[in-house]
Structure 1
Amino acid sequence: MNLISKKQIIIVISAIMLFPLFSSPAYANNIIYEKYQDKRITLKHANTPIKSIFASITSQTGLKFIFEESVLEKVKNISIDIKNGTLNGVLDEISKQTGLVFRQNDNTIAVSMGTIQQQTVQVASRQTGKISGTILDISNEPLIGVSVTIKGTTKGTITDEDGKFHLEVPENDILVFSYIGYETQEVSVKGKSAINLTLIENLNDLNEVVVIGYGTQRKGDITSSVASVKSENFTKGAVKDVGQLIQGKVAGLAISNPNGDPTGGTQIQLRGNNSIGGANTNPLILIDGIPGSLSTVAPEDVESIDVLKDGSAAAIYGTRGTNGVILITTKRAQGAQINTVEYNGYISTSKIANKLDMLSASEFRELYPTEDHGGDTDWLDEITRTPLTHVHNLSLQGGTASTNYIANINYTSQEGIMKKSDSETFQGRIQVSHRMFDDKLQLRFGILGKKNQFASTNNAGSWNGYTYRQATLHNPTDPVRNADGSWYENVNKFEYENPLARLYECYGNVKNTDIRFNGSIIYNPIKDLTLSAVMSYNRQNRNHGYSETRNHISALRDGLAGWSSVGAYTQMEKLVELTAQYNKQINVHKFSVLGGYSYNETDFEDMYFSNYGFQDDYMGGWHNIGAGSALKNGLADASSTKKTSNLIGFFGRATYSYMDKYLLMASLRYEGASQLWGTDNEWGAFPSVSLGWRITQEAFMKDQNILDDLKLRIGYGVTGSQPSNGFMGTAMVKYGGYAYVNGKWVKTVVPASNANPDLKWEEKKETNIGIDFTALKGRFSGAIDVYNREVDGLLFEYAVPTPPNLYPKTWANGGKLQNRGMELLLSGIPLMSKDFEWNTTVTFSTNSNKLKSLSGSVFKTEYDYFDTGTAEYSGQVTGSHRVQVGEKIGNFYGFKVVDVDDEGKWIYLDRDGNRVPYDDFTHAPEDKHMIGNGVPTWYGGWNNSFRYKSFDLNITMRGAFGFQIINAARMNYENTKNSRVENRLKSVTDKVFGKTQLSKSVEPEFNSYYIENGDYWKIDNITLGYTFNNIGKYIKSLRVYGSVLNALTITGYKGIDPELEINGLTPGYDSRDRYPTVRSFTLGVGVKF
């Protein structure tokens, strides 16, 4: 596929590469962190020495300046007049007048002239000696800008780009080495001429910033259940989308990869299922505050991912927060700095991770000699290939003291393991920010463009999993083609098709484009007050076409002479959010107040058209869809829709901290949605409150030296769920059949729904109690949470009488659902030295749900259960799951077999618990039992990273336990009653219950024999890398690595993969129609220039 031309790629790359040239500053860059940007500085000096100006800044901010006297001697007196300016703005002005460069390190600012150069500081009062050295981090990378000062003075220097420093120091003095994020070290210079140090990262950083709803919060002040994963802890190697970056790393967050389709994404569920079908069940995903999906941005472009897990954290998002909130923060330029370029790319190939053990041609002939058709075909091999995937990501960032940018372009070409399953994506993103008016006003603008296309062997979809089913069941003695070159087909046998013909007698393509604009204005009119406005516009377009030729099995069977469809949709989403936040600290009291308004509007339009009866395969098809005869015969299909929805919210939050010991957060969102238009409950209120107690700040904890921090949290929050469809409480009509009126056939209009003015949000009330701790100077940390969720007013479609109702079903609120669970996160660094380091993280979570009721005060169900799902065997279909009051979601419901008799016939357990032989069993629905559950009881994860000198090894593992799986493959391919033309599993000859082979007179059916233990433990990712530092003049570092994805699965399950879909009401069903999971092998490189 040619998604874009080479010329287009060159133009885009050239434009991004040239951008730094036009934005480069005319003066040296300053490195100033945002930690002190809320400090306001007033200066009014005329012809004043620079040291006096530094002293004035120190008195107002507490920041210390370190400098070399020889540098300041070259600076003339300056005049400066700034009122209530920011630190960045003040230093920017000084830099313009003097050429000085400032580099901040926590509460210290190092001063140098022009670019960072090493000079010798003369201290003449005592005998001095020259000291030099190199400062590295634990990975042996040089640390730039480390503050090196003589203790008790302002004399000192900073390390250069190679981590080196030079200084003249009195022989008995002490040097202090400090760097933000690292532990400060003091070293005596007595008897030394060189000091080489490795600084250790400060692991107990309670000042680390965590992204929360509509802002950030210091880690030590968090009172809700919030998980944060930074880029350095992401899954290494090849990943499909952003979700896989944190797979197994957040307790309570289940992320599943149920297939190997290159167009398929990961599935995600937080703290269990929270609905029974009338509401959205996916977490809210925000990318830099803007709604999106896990595939919106490239994984290489993500800086951090924060997960708001409990109600008190998510309540500020109201009706969108019931299933949790995932906040994705993309990479940004960090203040003014030298322009940098980074490239990351990899190539990978894959193979099917596990195959069903089907009969070979020779084994099939031995068992079924009369069905030998003379061929020897491995049908799975015929439809698969050795694929190649390559990914390229280029990132650039830089700017000036007032303007900075980051740009990212990504190209991904994926071949699936199945033939005709390809995906190609090109995307680019640029984010620019600019400060003005002494940094009181900040403007940000971003644009993301994405084009994707993939091959289609399914109407409006990607790869058709039904083709995989045909490859598994097809007779291995069937040839692929007849002697005349035509496909070998059995047209008269239903659901038996040549899988290769299915692939090559159809063709299709799906094209997606996504363009996203976002901008924000941040204004600080006075100290401690921040006003902001965020606006975004997102437009998604999808165009798809699909055709089946005149030789496709469907055309041969149905006589359609080819079939085609074409369709498209457009979705536009607009967002405006206004916020005001005031932060204040008065002695030991810290508080903040946030207020805001949000407006979100979504417009959706689509169209679809299908036709058949084409004269040939070249002049027809979806590119010339009007050529089919079905159109002129009035048998073509056409449809179109248009939908508009909006969501309006007013929200507020207040936080309070006393002595950094007692913490409080409360929020409220008042929200209305068009989905409930026409009801009496369009608006709803969603409050939350949470408390925190930092126990280690108490006097009785001061003498212990094990725990660095121990915090108790308790929170309560209310969130809602929007109805999955609009206007569910409004009476609506639709077109029905035709009626003969006044001599003409006319289209009728019939009821489509009943009015229900009492329809409202599903409402989730959640209580969460948690403990956070760090120990042994940050070497070990963890969190424990227990929660209880009660979802009230579950949306359900109730059967109602007609009349008086116009429609036989009505949507209403009635049921109640409960989720309870516990989550554990433990992280530690068991071993750490200059050459070797081991980081490990363990996650563990449990979840138990129960449907407490199905009926409400007005609308009631006839029964306290309903059946759902499908179990398919030999062309027959039956229900697979039952949702019942008092039981868990995900229960299998079917016949229970406990043995076989001497003839190999089932012995059942009936409704009364009696053993009933096969010939006497009536197969009545009342004799079915709950025979398993497809929802894991608990999940676990274990992630390890090792570093030895310049080598790094990362191993991620995870598992799910306490659940069962319906093995549809065994249900169909172990049965001897099926038509002999179909292939079988080799286990078809195995003894059932260890007694005898299943009787050929037994009809295929869904029963408990085909339910298996689904427990599994996966080694998800193994990545080994090596980093080369400072290669030549322009390359800062180069990392090469190799990785294996989906390396090993430990399980007793007999299917191809126990990891299945986790959402919805029918978990644990392993369908025969699927895209098998794959094991990938990757070679990659990352270069920092």
Structure 2
Amino acid sequence: MKTTITSLLFLLFFAPAFMYGQNTVKGTVTEQSTSIPLPGVNVVIKGSTTGTATDFDGNYQINAKKGDIIVFSYVGYQAQEITYNGQASLNVQLKEDAAQLNEIVVIGYGTTTKKDATGSVESITAKEFTKGNIVTPENLLSGRVAGVSINTSGSPGSGSEIRIRGGSSINASNNPLIIIDGLPIDNNGVNGSNGVLAAINPNDIDSFSVLKDASATAIYGSRASNGVIIIVTKKGKATFSATYDAQYSFGELTDRVGVFSGDEFRQLIASQPVNGSTLNESLLGTASTNWQDEIFRNTVSSQHNVSLQGSLFKVLPARFSFGTTDQEGALVTSEFNRRTLGLALNPSMLDDHLKINLNANFAFEDNRFADTGQIGAALQYDPTQPVYDPSSPFDGFYQHRNGSLLSNGTTNPVASLLQRYNYGDANRSYGNLNFDYKFHFLPELKAVVNIGYDETSSTSIDYTSTAIATNDPVKGFSSFGTQKRTNKSLDGYLNYSKEFGTVRTELMTGYSYQKFTNNGGNTGNQRDTASFPSTFADPDVVLIGFFGRANLTFSDKYLFTLTYRRDGTSRFSENNRWGNFPAAAFAWNISDEDFLKNNTTISSLKLRVGYGITGQQDISGNNDIFLNRYRGGDQNSQYQFGNQVIESLIASEINPDLKWEETSTLEFGLDYGLFNNKVSGSLNFFQKNSTDLLFTASVADGTNFSNSIIQNIGELQIQGLEFSLNTEVIKNDDLNINFNFNATLLNREIKELALGQDVRTGGIAGGTGNNIQLLREGEAPNSFSVFKQLYDTSGNPIEGAYVDLNGDNIINDNDRYLKENPNADVILGFQSNINYKNFDLSFNLRANIGNYAYNNVNSSRAQYERILDNSVLANLPTSVLNTSFQRTADVIISDIYLEDASFLKMDNITLGYTFNNISKTLKSIRLWGGVQNVFTITNYSGLDPEVFGGIDNLIYPRPRTILTGANFKF
């Protein structure tokens, strides 16, 4: 006992010596831009083992003495070192480190860093998204990534045509594989919805990763030939914060197709004979109506988004979001409404060895679809007639009548829009549950399981007023349909990471299962007596994959990646069901070599080379072509057996030999960073060869149950060069200026077609069965096939006169030649963000060079014979004055209608101002305004040079939109 007391006295005596100069320091660590507390910040005395971490409220406490350097560090933020001067409290604000955040890149089944990436992968985070009137998520990437083009219609909530490096197929899908939080989604939508991405709220997205070359995409094997887009949604955080975003937009169409006014049309009818006969002027009215103005409108739309994030019960990071979108279409009666709910829970357990991510999303999409065919009706409807007629029996709308309705003529387009009610509702629930467990006994090994679910149910109804203009005794008609698609997936893999001296290894192996189902029904069309209620259930599509990847890094300089995937699909017969998709890549971090290590100009330089094979099995509407199938005939193919009427069964086409379309890609890349990475980017050269193309081609009569079936024929080659540049022009406390520039050069060529045969494609309006495009070996896909127009000595085109290219003195299809194609040779993107104190300015430009468009509006309508619309008169495009052509059939294939559609577009420009530290509760308010679809510079004579497939046949026009909004952070 005496010894114990002596020891305690000894410790008490010398304790002040041990603690001499030590003080308890307290404080709070917050985020600089929002003043939100940061939990889990490491607080360490530099050069010692003394340290702590901030709690959930950002508070910390540590013992320090004068002169100590306290280091505050947190992932994604710039570390701070502060010399302690003896104060009792020390509050610190950490600034976000954009470079560090951008270093992490999401890849297939895992993550990597930009330095360690061996494939062509580009990551875009929320701060880099394209801004503006963004309704569907893919437009956040518009013009932002080299090799990626996004073409969106002007229809409200409409989907987009997304192409990565020009796609890889001709007849099969060219859409990239899109993955949301580990769940590969189906590219097929449902009736009643605007598309597979229409239900996704862009405000919930945290980042995109675009995987472009085969060494990066081969881990997804059978669906990766067209590239992969990985979407990561926002997750919960430990600290509480809330945001409210409001946006209002006001749209107006700034251009119209030029047609004759009422007075001009009356003058034209009086002076223009057709087929040698004068026109009946008694059919003219006294009004002057611009029918395009009548069917189009100025629009008002809005978006509202609320998000809450923080820790439930102080241990469960969570995020909740709610969003509404109400978008009017420029075409009268077109509307898109969406409500979304999102929930993310991200707990960590077992000393952070087990991480769980739950993402649940619900979307409710309501649409009213306008009949876009009325755009064409508005061009040709008689401009001398009024919209309304008090004596009309058709709900007061003017219609061509002579006692009764004149049949076989265009009807009032305003009435056709307002008297038709085409609605679609789609309810979608999707999400995933992810378990990431790092083994306690072997922390280098982790197991990941991801369960995904996606279900969309839709209802569509289309009915017309009984007052519609028709001579049909059945007044009005309606149809009703339902559909449900489900997508279930299960992925599991093991990942082992370990360093052995200067060698770093990462090994991964896994299994993937996915099942797609599609069921629906339709009541039929009440006006069509040949139609009767029907249901459908597409055969289920099941995909199974086994995959593995090995990453080896030597001395942080030499990186090797080997990938292999074996996929099976239910779409093919048992003999061809499985496909093998290997890939290999090598990268050399040249800047880590001694001769560049201390270079002040070149901060990073990496050489990459990769090769891989990916697959394609997406055949729209043909899930079981290898099976013997039968379809029911209609009432005209029934037969009577006794007193019973039997519905016939008709055999469908079959191809049991169908197999994978495969794409092999070779790529050489160079990633660079200059001046401490203030300037960075990449240069890539690639070549893709797609073989065994899935192609609908003719078969000999009597050899199948159709004269054409899907076959494996042909080869397509795409070569390209990509360049990207990111730079910080100025970066200081008051002024930041950065910009991104990217350029893509593409060359496409068909190497082989079945039997070397040409295939006509690209159907056009005007006449019957006309095609304007051709597939031919040695040429770009969908090249335009046209006659070479002849001109008189004054330079005017001669109607129906073409060059006899083969010299046989006969003008026929053998004299058509290939001229250009709809795909751009060069795609450019430019984006800039400028921040001065509390002001922010951003804008986005895009350009296509070398793309051509066939002006089907003029080729099918700008001829004088089109004045006669059966028993009534019809308007014409004023471009008829440039040619004075009489007959559509004589001129529709002329190359005069093929135009250079190169363009430069400013998609958007926004200007904002942020008010910080409004109150203890309200951290900031950002007020902003902007313009969407600012301008287009082009020589193309149509409304818009950016048309799907290169054929301009009355696109849904894109309005210019004035934007205003406010962002509140709490």
Whether these two folds match at TM > 0.5 is yes
Task: Determine the C-alpha separation between the residues in 2 that align with 1:603 and 1:167.
Answer: 58
1:731 match: 628
Distance 1:275 1:164, change over 3 A: same
Is this contact kept in 2: 1:781–1:828, CA < 8 A?
yes
Q: Pick from 262, 268, 284: which aligns with 1:372? A: 284
1:1013 shift after superposition: 0.8
Task: Determine the C-alpha separation between the residues in 2 that align with 1:647 and 1:959.
Answer: 38
* Aligned 1:407-446 pairs, distance under 5 A: 407-446=320-359
Letter in 2 for 1:1070: D
1:655 has 2:551 as partner = yes
Is this contact kept in 2: 1:204–1:708, CA < 8 A?
no
Aligned residue for 1:611, secondary structure, equals coil
1:325 match: 228
1:908 shift after superposition: 3.8
Task: Determine the C-alpha separation between the residues in 2 that align with 1:599 and 1:68.
Answer: 63
Letter in 1 for 2:785: Y
Task: Determine the C-alpha separation between the residues in 1 that align with 2:337 and 2:831.
Answer: 31
Larger mean CA deviation between 533-542 and 150-159 belongs to 150-159
Q: Pick from 786, 789, 806: which aligns with 1:894? A: 786
Is this contact kept in 2: 1:977–1:1003, CA < 8 A?
no
Task: Determine the C-alpha separation between the residues in 2 that align with 1:188 and 1:794.
Answer: 67
Q: Pick from 533, 549, 560: which aligns with 2:465? A: 549
Distance 1:1042 1:1032, change over 3 A: same
Distance 1:331 1:195, change over 3 A: closer
1:378 shift after superposition: 1.6
Q: Structure 1, unaligned stretches of length 5 or more?
A: 1-66, 72-110, 119-134, 456-461, 614-629, 856-860, 1062-1066
1:391 match: 303
Larger mean CA deviation between 976-985 and 816-825 belongs to 976-985
1:297 has 2:179 as partner = no
Task: Determine the C-alpha separation between the residues in 2 that align with 1:730 and 1:784.
Answer: 46
Distance 1:764 1:744, change over 3 A: same
1:606 has 2:520 as partner = yes
Distance 1:753 1:944, change over 3 A: same
* Aligned 1:223-302 pairs, distance under 5 A: 223-257=118-152, 259-277=153-171, 279-292=172-185, 293-302=196-205
Is this contact kept in 1: 2:804–2:810, CA < 8 A?
no
Task: Determine the C-alpha separation between the residues in 1 that align with 2:384 and 2:547.
Answer: 67
Q: Pick from 884, 889, 894: which aligns with 2:776? A: 884
Is this contact kept in 2: 1:140–1:949, CA < 8 A?
no
1:37 match: none
Q: Pick from 595, 598, 615: which aligns with 1:700? A: 595
Distance 1:171 1:816, change over 3 A: same
Letter in 1 for 2:354: L
Deviation per residue, 1:441-481 (Å, 9 max, x gap): 333333211111111xxxxxx22210111112222111113
Is this contact kept in 2: 1:206–1:220, CA < 8 A?
no
Task: Determine the C-alpha separation between the residues in 2 that align with 1:682 and 1:835.
Answer: 60
Distance 1:184 1:373, change over 3 A: same
Is this contact kept in 2: 1:723–1:761, CA < 8 A?
no
Q: Pick from 936, 941, 965: which aligns with 1:1054? A: 941
What TM-score does the superposition give when structure 1 sets the normalisation length? 0.78
Is this contact kept in 1: 2:370–2:422, CA < 8 A?
no
1:1009 has 2:870 as partner = no
Aligned residue for 1:452, secondary structure, equals strand
Is this contact kept in 2: 1:348–1:1082, CA < 8 A?
yes
Work out the number of aligned pairs and report it: 908
Q: Pick from 486, 489, 494: which aligns with 2:399? A: 489
Letter in 2 for 1:311: A
Distance 1:163 1:988, change over 3 A: farther
Q: Pick from 698, 705, 715: which aligns with 1:816? A: 715
Task: Determine the C-alpha separation between the residues in 1 that align with 2:61 and 2:548.
Answer: 53
* Aligned 1:517-556 pairs, distance under 5 A: 517-525=431-439, 526-553=442-469, 555-556=470-471
Is this contact kept in 1: 2:664–2:688, CA < 8 A?
yes
1:750 shift after superposition: 2.7
Task: Determine the C-alpha separation between the residues in 2 that align with 1:296 and 1:186.
Answer: 46
Letter in 2 for 1:474: Y
Is this contact kept in 1: 2:340–2:361, CA < 8 A?
yes
1:575 has 2:470 as partner = no
Aligned-CA RMSD value = 3.4
1:956 match: 844
Distance 1:162 1:720, change over 3 A: closer
Letter in 2 for 1:247: S
Q: Structure 2, unaligned stretches of length 5 or more?
A: 1-19, 186-195, 271-280
Is this contact kept in 2: 1:402–1:436, CA < 8 A?
no
2:652 match: 752
Deviation per residue, 1:813-860 (Å, 9 max, x gap): 1211111101111000112222111110001001111111112xxxxx
* Aligned 1:756-775 pairs, distance under 5 A: 756=656, 758-775=657-674
Is this contact kept in 1: 2:922–2:968, CA < 8 A?
yes
1:25 match: none
1:923 shift after superposition: 4.7
Deviation per residue, 1:574-611 (Å, 9 max, x gap): 11111111111122211111111111111111111223
Q: Pick from 960, 964, 968: which aligns with 1:1083? A: 964
Aligned residue for 2:879, secondary structure, equals helix
Distance 1:210 1:865, change over 3 A: same
Task: Determine the C-alpha separation between the residues in 2 that align with 1:207 and 1:930.
Answer: 46
1:368 shift after superposition: 2.5
1:144 shift after superposition: 6.3
2:11 match: none
Task: Determine the C-alpha separation between the residues in 2 that align with 1:906 and 1:929.
Answer: 18
Is this contact kept in 2: 1:68–1:155, CA < 8 A?
no
Task: Determine the C-alpha separation between the residues in 2 that align with 1:1057 and 1:333.
Answer: 42
Task: Determine the C-alpha separation between the residues in 1 that align with 2:148 and 2:888.
Answer: 46
Letter in 1 for 2:864: T
Deviation per residue, 1:676-706 (Å, 9 max, x gap): 1x34110111111111100011111124211
2:384 match: 477
Deviation per residue, 1:908-930 (Å, 9 max, x gap): 4434366x9xxxx8652222121
1:203 shift after superposition: 6.2
1:971 match: 859
Identity within the alignment, %: 30
Deviation per residue, 1:992-1037 (Å, 9 max, x gap): 4xxxx54689945231111111000100010000111111110111
* Aligned 1:47-126 pairs, distance under 5 A: 69-71=22-24, 112=26, 116-117=27-28
Letter in 1 for 2:628: A
Deviation per residue, 1:14-67 (Å, 9 max, x gap): xxxxxxxxxxxxxxxxxxxxxxxxxxxxxxxxxxxxxxxxxxxxxxxxxxxxx9
Q: Pick from 582, 586, 591: which aligns with 1:687? A: 582
Distance 1:663 1:1087, change over 3 A: same
1:404 has 2:317 as partner = yes
1:463 has 2:344 as partner = no
2:738 match: 839
Aligned residue for 1:1044, secondary structure, equals strand
Q: Pick from 913, 924, 927: which aligns with 1:1040? A: 927
Is this contact kept in 1: 2:235–2:346, CA < 8 A?
no
1:506 has 2:394 as partner = no
Task: Determine the C-alpha separation between the residues in 1 that align with 2:611 and 2:889.
Answer: 55
Deviation per residue, 1:750-782 (Å, 9 max, x gap): 3211343x3210011111111111111121100
Task: Determine the C-alpha separation between the residues in 1 that align with 2:57 and 2:260.
Answer: 64
Task: Determine the C-alpha separation between the residues in 2 that align with 1:162 and 1:1026.
Answer: 29
Deviation per residue, 1:86-105 (Å, 9 max, x gap): xxxxxxxxxxxxxxxxxxxx
Task: Determine the C-alpha separation between the residues in 2 that align with 1:441 and 1:143.
Answer: 25
1:977 shift after superposition: 3.0
Aligned residue for 1:317, secondary structure, equals helix
* Aligned 1:663-674 pairs, distance under 5 A: 663-674=559-570
